[in-house]
Amino acid sequence: MESRLSVCVSGLGSNLERIIQACQNKEIPAVVALVISDRPGILALERAQKYSISTAVVSRKDFESDGAYALSFLELLKKYQIELICLAGYLRKVPHEVVRTYAGRIINIHPALLPKFGGKGFYGPTVHETVLKAGEGESGATVHYVDEVYDHGAIILQKKTAVLPGDTPKSLAGRVHQIEYEIYPQAIRLVLEKLAGR
């Protein structure tokens, strides 16, 4: 029986597509059963639909309270029998109730070497701009467990790349993306193996 994943997205969905393909070619012993977005009309949802994967938009502004928002999120996850939640460019904080219910079963990929350059506001080009401004000699990507603080949970996998002379945020981002595509499927597999053994 394959494990069932949900991927949460907010943007282009390149990591989402990498995960879908990794499931299809058995790098990851799982299936992406549901893609959740915090906003409609994004490319990531189109990518999911291209693979005939169920999608849902769950936005905090559509609910009267945090509790109703969290409940809707949890009901979706239960409906699709989700075992592991993977955040892939998801820019919203996962509701506390979801984090508590899925403790140890929510992971995220971050485009820097945590604990450096993480936290609220550190996403996309901002991360790479900050790394370059700080004069860092290396950057990379980190897969970590999600807790109730941004980019804070225990690290699962991390891989580095050198910051090169003349790097721009765009050139550095390109290399970091390649690392993300490499380590996120590996980390998902590791977490699923750990969950299967507990």
List active site positions: 110
Spatial distance between the Cα atoms of 26 and 176, rounded to a whole number of angstroms: 24
Please report, for the chain, how many H helices and E strands are present, in that order: 6, 7
By C-alpha distance, which of 65, 64, 14, 58 is closest to 39? Answer: 58
Spatial distance between the Cα atoms of 126 and 43, rounded to a whole number of angstroms: 21
Distances in Å between the Cα of 27 and the Cα atoms of 39, 75, 132, 157, 172 are: 29, 29, 33, 16, 26
Q: Which residues pair with 37 in a beta bridge?
A: 9, 57
Spatial distance between the Cα atoms of 76 and 80, rounded to a whole number of angstroms: 6
**Would you tell me how many other CB atoms lie within 10 Å of the CB of residue 25?**
9
